[in-house]
Amino acid sequence: MSIIVYPYLFHPKQDPKSGKITKQIFYPFIPVRISYCHQIFPNPINALIDSGSERNLFPAFFAERLNIKVKKGQIQSTRGIGTIVVNAYTHNVKCLLQTISFDTQIDFSYEISVPLLGRDGFFNKFKKIIFEEKCVKLER
């Protein structure tokens, strides 16, 4: 069994009128690396662990940097908040977190800007995921 702990990243909340920071909100973003056909994305990608996301969903930019032909993947229509529908294309990749790596699928979309780690393809790769106030713990 191995456990990885990641501190949350904070994001300042600003008042839209004054621009003043009113509080800090902590989010479970973690640095992941993705690999495709023995090419590894050059930098860690800060991805949000999202228990409300059914699948992994990343901006298409990351796939293009790995020479993945995004639109050759199987198309998926994903519902987001409310009635928003996002089109994405599924590809098999390898996900790397510190000393852990696993095969998974990521849906890549031209319509989103935040990488999301979802239930099918991320959560199901771990025995336990624990969200605490300012950190997340991943147990395999």
Q: What is the pLDDT of residues 51-64, one digit of tens each?
A: 999 999 999 999 99
**Residue 132: band (very low, low, confident or very high) from pLDDT cuts 50, 70, 90:** very high
State how far the alpha carbon of 46 is from the alpha carbons of 28, 75, 90, in Å: 9, 24, 20
Q: Domain-by-domain residue ranges, the chain?
A: 3-139
Largest Cα–Cα distance in the chain? Answer: 49
Q: Which fold has domain 3-139?
A: Cathepsin D, subunit A; domain 1 (2.40.70)
Distance CA(55)–CA(34), nearest Å, equals 15
DSSP-based three-state secondary structure for 28: coil
In this structure, are residues 58 and 126 in contact, taking their beta carbons and an 8 Å threshold? no
Q: What would the pLDDT profile of 72-128 be if each residue is shown by its tens digit? A: 999 999 877 777 889 999 999 999 999 899 999 999 999 999 999 999 999 999 999
Of 6-15, 27-36, 41-50, 118-127, the range with the lowest mean pLDDT is: 6-15
In this structure, are residues 104 and 121 in contact, taking their beta carbons and an 8 Å threshold? yes
